[in-house]
Structure formats: C-alpha cells, structure tokens
C-alpha cells in the first residue's frame, strides 16, 4: 500500500483532472459488473478458490470475493469497459462491507475485500493508461446500500424496531471506504440508494474518515427509484426531498442508477438536473428485467444509447453509464452517440433553507410564516406526555397527525422529562413516525436540551430536519463541535440566544449573542447561513416585574435586526411562552399569541412553534381585548399589565350561551357563508349553501358570489399576516364541502343546456401542493362554461 501522502497526492491530481474533464465534455462511466460476471458462467469453485475451499457456506453469488479468488476475471472486465470508452470504472465492491458479508459469515474480510477491489481496479486503470499514453482513467470505489435498511421496519408486529442502527452502518461504511482508499481508488460512489438514511450514514462515515486521514476525496451519490410511474423512492421520498436530505454533502455529482430503464427514469432525471448545483450522473438498467434474455434485460446497445442521448441533448447530464444488463457494447454505443453532446451547465441555485420529510419544504419570505406543531412535546402537552409515559406510542402518533392535518409544516418532537428514557423514547417515536406517510411527509424538528437525545433523533431521520437547539452556554468549543456534527448529520439548527453569561433578555444582549453565534458558525466552520435559525427567546410578559415589560418588544426588534444584519439567517420562537402569565385563560392567551405573531411576522419572523389547531385570527380579536393585549406586548403604558389582569377577569372562563354562540346565524346568508369560511366552521355550510342556491338560482352564481367573496376575505387576511396556514386550511375544507354540495347541481345544469365546446384547458398543480381547492373551483367554473 502507498503511503498516505502518496495516496493524497494521487487523489488530488486525479480530482483536478476529472473536474477539468467534466467542464470539457460528458464523462463516461462503465456498465454492469454483475452482468459481466454472470456471463462468465463461473462455478462455486471459482468463488472458493484454495483459500475458501472448506468455507461453511455456499459462496457462489458473493461477487466481491472474486477480488481475492479470481482477480484476473475482474481485471479483464474493468479493462473491457475502459477499452469500450469508459472514463471511470467502478470497483467490484458493491457488498464489500460487514453488513452484507454477514450473510456469508465473512464479516472479518470486509476491509480486505474492499482494499482488494480497489487494488484490482487500480491495476486495470494503470495498465490501460500504459497502453494508451496521454489517456486518463479514474477508479471509483463502489459503496452499495447494504442488505439492511435503517428507515423501514421489517417486523410488522414491532414497527419501531430496525434490523440495523445508524451507528452500525457508519462503522461498516467507514471500514469499507478506508479499504477502498488504501486499495487505490480516486473517488467514492455511494450508489443504488434506496434508503436515504443509509446513505446519510455512509456520507457521515466518509466525512469522519476524511477528518481522520487529513484529506478529502471526491464523492458521487446515486439514488434508485424502483416503481415505474412513481415520483417517490422506496422509502417514500420525492426527488427534491431526497436531494434536500443529502445536499449538505460536498458532492462531485448526484444521479440515478439501476431499478428503472431509461424510459421510466426520464422525468426523474429531468427533475434532479433542475435541482442540483453539482454534476448529474445517470446509469440506468438496460430496461426492466426479462429472465429469458441473455443479459436478463431487453435494451440492446442500439436501442439503449439513443434514449440516453436524448437526455444529454436536453442538457441534463454530465456523467453517463450503464447499470444492470449493460455491457461494454452498451458503453461503446453510448460514447459514440453522446461524446459530441455538450455537458450540462451547472445551475447556480439560490441559497435557501431547504428541508424535507418525505416531501420537500423550502423556507423563504415568499412562503409566509412556517408553522411548527408544538403538541408532540412532553413539556408542552400534558396529553402527549401521558401517552409517552404509558408507552401508548400508537395513540401518540395521532397527536402528530392532527398537528399536520391542522397545517403544521414542521413538527417539533421533545421527550425531555425526568422520568423518561428520553433517548429511547425519541428513537421509538421517530421510527414510528417514519412508517406513517401522512406525518412523515413534513420535516422533523428534534427538540432537546440534551445532546445525546438530539443525536438519537438525528440518527432516525432520513429527511433534512432541524435540531432545536444549540447555544454558547458551554462556550465556543462545545458550540462549534455540536454545530459541526449537526452539519455532518445533514440538519439545520436552531441557535438559542444564550451564552456563558446566561439567557439574553434585552435587545442589546440578544443582538450580541446572535451576532457572535452567526460569525462563529459562518466564518469558522462554514455553516450555511440559510440553515441557521435564531431563537432570540420569547419570554413571558405581564409578570408584574417591571424589567419584564419590554420582553416582547425586545424579541420583535431583535427579529428585525437579525433579518437586516445577518444575511440568510432565519428567526423562530416558542410563541406560547409569551402568555404564561395567563395560564388557564385561553381567550387572553390566544389573543396574545395572535397579536404577538402579527407584529413579529411583520418584523421578519420566519417560523414559530405553535399549536397549529388553535390560532386565533388577528382581525377577529375583540377590539377592547386587542388594545389591552397590545398595550402589554408593545409596552405602550406603565399600567398595561394591571389593566390586562383586571380585564382578563371579565373573560376568564367566560362561556358563551348557546344563544350568543348562534348569534352569527341571524345574519344574511352571505354573512353566514363568509363567517363559516373565515372561522373554518363546517356544521352549517351545506344548509347555508342550499339557501344561497335558492336565492341565487344558479350554482355557479353561488360559487362566484358569496363563496368567493368569503374566500377573498380569507386571502386578504392571509396576505396581511392576520391569518396563518392552519386557519386557511380550515377555510379550504369548508369551501370544498360547499363546492361538493353544489357539484351535482352544476352537472345537472350542464346536461340540461349542452354548450358548444369552448376549448380545452390544461390545469396544473404545483408538485407537492396538497391545498388545491382553488384549482378545483376554477376547473368547475370552466367546465360549466363549456371548457373541457
């Protein structure tokens, strides 16, 4: 084995030449290793050789073992691909790690097999370059997904259990990557990714290895999507969610391989090419498997190459090759067809906070205020805490589900309670969430004051979540070390305004701590500014202590300062903290939350931890209550607290009589419909819609008249920051029910008066948009006017 300094020098030289080649033209990968081995018709004795003649298990099929027992076969395959036109050959090490080799009782051979695979490929590349002076060939160390998954339960009776842990994957991948580098590879490729969490463990291991070795190596990533016609991978992520999950890795390229043939992969590659600010690779199978064919796959070199050429001509590709079923003939055909085509131009992607669960979430000013569901927190929800203590995890999931249904775009999960094994509870709950697609579609905020709990959560989340939180409380060294690990795990981070002196309560202290934290993160360790979320501390007002009177103002002004002076950073806070002085008085607390949010969002607040199902509408707060609440929040008068306390007595526990509750029912049908839409009340919507139909005579007139008038009010309030997404979701449900009631009347009217076709209209929904009521309404209106 070469010395580390010699290895480092070769890797740096080869990386420089590869990056130059990628700017010059499309670079070609090799094709299938397994297919070529299968075509050699090797027998059990070939796999055993002399060394493993008496091994306790059958070894045929353990292709990685051939690096030791039949290295000349593997070397010849590598050379065949290089002679066919491949620039990069992949090592025969897809399963050369302890997890997969356990099936053959060969765990102890993992490092040796990885090193041997790297060495055999290096020898082939060097031999090729010796035969072809001036040519270059690169060796990519192939790292497969292992035979186990960290995101999916394999025991139907215990959906929280996993066959393997994140730590075990990291250990296996570290050993494999180290062996490959020692064997002579120029880069690493984490490929056939079907579980993003597995791949994140691989990237974590590689980064740790680079830190230990003292130099870096280029890394490629390649995901596989297995279901034709679906835009989701095996564990449920979209292409964009997958990219967001691994975008923290400084990759040479990202791409797709295996599973689908070129036709089925086309829309997925187009999407990835749009998203990724790095090179894009593709090496699909030669179609879908057909066991009756010689290679097991239908695409011949003649049919395969033109399909990939079309993608290259569309400007989507930087690296091209083949996977299962492809041969040197396929690679030769690819090179002949595609070499004249210019490589894809790497797009400049605007830095934004891009999170993911199964779906992607981009946080920007255009996304308005992001709601973080607070009820999956044992410290904030007595019901959730009780369920976790009783280990009623399945029922606890319903709390998370309700938060998402009510409009939470992120859910905050906190298990900090003295009587709980917080690490175990966090793992169990997040593993269960992973199996519930209606919950797992949103990103997870892992919330704890203990690093061990945060790390336990990070090792369960395949998407890009948020760590809540770290701070300077224990000094700069601990702060930066935790931040480095958060980044390595692939998460955004909440930074509390807290340092060695304690919690920042004044505006000046909030600015001091946040600015210092920002500089440390961005300038010392290169943490992306767009993935930093500051929590300048929402502290309780109206406590009776004069020094607390400016707490809300200090938060609002600190938010404004952060947005103006710390580019890219986001601001969040625990909104309910502001009103703890009025615990037990929900009308006052809800008014305080709504008013505080209104002013904080105007100052630049990006997100907040709220109860997504219980947000009051700013515009609907009684004026007398609003005035007194804002006197307290904005510290407008010295007696504001006393006045609000006195006023609160008049509304504490106040329960409206049935007659008072029903007073809005006395208004006109237009007023009732608008009230129901704004408040998200479904109980009377069908009766009111029916009454409006009698009055307006035509169903379309009801939609275009009172229903749209009500939704316009909702839209205005949302745009002004006086309503938030959870309330809009409720309004949309009411509207949907009203339109559903009118639909049979619309269809009947259309059938009664056939119209000449006015034309065809194509309606498009933004990918991932689950709130498409507006488009449904427009579609109905167009249909009634003769469009199809």
- What contacts 360, CB < 8 A, 6 or more positions away? 238, 240, 241, 243, 244, 354, 768
What DSSP letter does each residue of 135-179 carry, written as one string? Answer: ---EEEEEE---S--SSS-S-TT-TT--SS-HHHHHHHHHHHHHH
Query: What is the pLDDT, as a whole number, of residue 766?
Result: 62
Query: What is the pLDDT, as a whole number, of residue 770?
Result: 46
Dist CA 153 CA 431 (whole Å): 8
Dist CA 355 CA 408 (whole Å): 14
Query: What is the pLDDT, as a whole number, of residue 289?
Result: 81
User: What are the tens digits of pLDDT across the range 111-130?
Assistant: 999 999 999 999 999 999 99
Dist CA 676 CA 670 (whole Å): 10
Q: Quote the Cα angle for 203-240-140, to 5°.
A: 35
CATH topology of domain 353-651: TIM Barrel (3.20.20)
CB atoms within 10 A of CB 617: 19
Dist CA 589 CA 148 (whole Å): 48
Q: Quote the Cα angle for 231-237-238, to 5°.
A: 40
**Residue 511 Cα to chain centre, angstroms:** 30
- H or E stretch including 361? strand 360-363
Query: What is the pLDDT, as a whole number, of residue 726?
Result: 63
Are 750 and 700 in contact by the 8 Å Cβ rule? The answer is: no
Domain ranges of the chain: 4-338, 353-651, 658-749
Dist CA 184 CA 270 (whole Å): 34
Query: What is the pLDDT, as a whole number, of residue 659?
Result: 59
Reading the block at residue 7, the tokens are: 């290895």
Query: What is the pLDDT, as a whole number, of residue 87?
Result: 99
Answer yes or no: same fold for 4-338 and 658-749. Answer: no
Distances (CA, A) of 105 to 3, 52, 300: 31, 12, 38
Q: What is the 3-state secondary structure (H, E, C) of 517-585?
A: HHHHHHHHCCCCHHHEEEECCCCCCCCCCHHHCCHHHHHHHHHHHHHHHCCCCEECCEHHHHHHHHCCC
Positions in the chain short of pLDDT 70 = 228, 612-613, 652-661, 721, 724-726, 754-758, 765-777, 779-786, 788
- pTM (predicted TM-score): 0.87
Dist CA 461 CA 468 (whole Å): 14
Q: Give percent of the chain with pLDDT exceeding 90.
A: 74
Dist CA 51 CA 630 (whole Å): 81
- What contacts 525, CB < 8 A, 6 or more positions away? 480, 483, 484, 487
Task: Reply yes or no on domain 658-749 having CATH 3.50.50.60.
Answer: no
Dist CA 487 CA 530 (whole Å): 12
Query: What is the pLDDT, as a whole number, of residue 760?
Result: 84
User: What are the tens digits of pLDDT across the range 251-307?
Assistant: 999 999 987 778 788 999 999 999 999 999 999 999 888 888 877 889 999 999 999
User: What are the tens digits of pLDDT across the range 623-638?
Assistant: 999 999 999 999 999 9
Pairing between β-strand 187-193 and β-strand 492-496 as defined by DSSP bridges: unpaired
CATH topology of domain 4-338: TIM Barrel (3.20.20)
């Amino acid at each position: 084995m070469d010395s580390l300094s010699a290895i480092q020098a070769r890797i740096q030289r080869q990386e420089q030449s590869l990056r130059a080649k990628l700017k010059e033209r499309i670079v070609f990968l090799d094709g299938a290793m397994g297919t070529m081995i299968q075509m050699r018709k090797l027998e059990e004795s070939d796999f055993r050789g002399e060394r493993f003649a008496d091994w306790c298990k059958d070894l045929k099929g353990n292709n990685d073992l051939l690096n030791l027992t039949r290295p000349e076969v593997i070397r010849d395959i590598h050379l065949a691909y290089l002679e066919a036109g491949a620039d990069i050959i992949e090592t025969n090490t897809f399963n050369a790690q302890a997890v997969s080799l356990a099936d053959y009782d060969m765990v102890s051979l993992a490092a040796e097999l990885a090193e041997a695979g790297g060495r055999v490929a290096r020898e082939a590349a060097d031999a090729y370059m010796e035969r072809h002076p001036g040519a270059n060939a690169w060796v990519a160390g192939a790292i497969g997904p292992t035979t186990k998954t960290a995101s999916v339960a394999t025991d139907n009776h215990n959906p929280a259990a996993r066959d393997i842990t994140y730590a075990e994957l990291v250990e296996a991948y570290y050993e494999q990557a180290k062996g490959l580098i020692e064997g002579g590879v120029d880069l690493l490729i984490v490929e056939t990714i079907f579980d993003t969490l597995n791949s994140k463990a691989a990237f974590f291991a590689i980064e740790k290895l680079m830190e230990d070795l003292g130099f870096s190596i280029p890394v490629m990533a390649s995901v596989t999507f297995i279901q034709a016609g679906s835009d989701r991978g095996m564990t449920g992520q979209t292409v964009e969610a997958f990219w967001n999950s691994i975008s923290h890795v400084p990759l040479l390229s990202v791409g797709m391989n295996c599973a689908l043939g070129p036709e089925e992969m086309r829309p997925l590659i187009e999407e990835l090419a749009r998203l990724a600010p790095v090179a894009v690779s593709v090496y699909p199978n030669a179609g879908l498997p057909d066991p009756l064919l010689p290679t097991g796959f239908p695409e011949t070199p003649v049919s395969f190459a033109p399909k990939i050429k079309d993608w290259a001509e569309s400007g989507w590709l930087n690296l091209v090759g083949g996977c299962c079923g492809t041969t040197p003939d396929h690679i030769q055909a690819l090179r002949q067809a595609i070499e004249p085509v210019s490589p894809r131009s790497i797009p400049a992607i605007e830095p934004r906070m891009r999170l993911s669960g199964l779906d992607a979430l981009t946080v920007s000013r255009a996304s308005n205020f992001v709601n973080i569901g607070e009820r999956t927190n044992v410290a904030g929800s007595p019901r959730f805490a009780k369920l976790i203590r009783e280990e009623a995890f399945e029922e606890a999931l319903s709390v998370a589900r309700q938060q998402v249904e009510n409009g939470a775009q992120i859910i905050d999960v906190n298990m900090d309670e003295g009587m709980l094994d917080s690490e175990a509870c966090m793992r169990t709950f997040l593993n269960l969430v992973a199996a519930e697609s209606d919950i797992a579609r949103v990103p997870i905020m892992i919330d704890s004051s203990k690093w061990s709990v945060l790390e336990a959560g990070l090792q369960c989340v395949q998407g890009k979540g948020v760590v809540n939180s770290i701070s300077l409380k224990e000094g700069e060294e601990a702060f930066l070390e935790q931040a480095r690990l958060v980044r390595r795990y692939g998460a955004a981070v909440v930074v509390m305004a807290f340092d060695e002196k304690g919690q920042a309560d004044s505006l000046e202290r909030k600015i001091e701590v946040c600015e210092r934290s920002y500089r440390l993160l961005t300038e010392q360790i290169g943490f992306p500014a767009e993935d930093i979320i500051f929590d300048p501390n929402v502290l309780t007002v109206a406590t009776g202590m004069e020094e607390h009177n400016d707490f809300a103002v200090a938060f609002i002004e600190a938010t404004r300062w952060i947005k103006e002076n710390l580019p890219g950073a986001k601001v969040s806070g625990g909104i309910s903290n502001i009103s703890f002085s009025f615990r037990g008085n929900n009308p006052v607390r809800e008014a305080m939350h709504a008013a505080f949010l209104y002013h904080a969002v105007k100052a630049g607040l990006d997100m907040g931890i709220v109860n997504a199902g219980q947000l009051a509408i700013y515009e609907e707060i009684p004026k007398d209550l609003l005035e007194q609440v804002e006197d307290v929040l904005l510290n407008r008068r010295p007696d504001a607290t006393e006045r609000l306390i006195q006023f609160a007595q008049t509304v504490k526990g106040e329960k409206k009589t049935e007659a008072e509750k029903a007073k809005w029912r006395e208004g006109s049908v237009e007023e009732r419909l608008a009230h129901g839409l704004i408040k998200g009340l479904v109980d009377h919507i069908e009766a009111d819609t029916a009454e409006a139909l009698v009055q307006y005579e035509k169903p379309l007139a009801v939609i275009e008249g009172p229903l749209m008038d009500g939704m316009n009010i909702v839209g205005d309030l949302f745009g002004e920051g006086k309503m938030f997404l959870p309330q809009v979701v409720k309004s949309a449900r009411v509207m949907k029910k009203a339109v559903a009631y009118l639909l049979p009347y619309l269809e009947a009217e259309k059938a009664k008066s056939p119209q000449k076709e006015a034309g065809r209209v194509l309606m498009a929904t933004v990918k991932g948009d689950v709130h498409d009521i507006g488009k449904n309404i427009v579609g109905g209106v167009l249909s009634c006017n003769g469009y199809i």
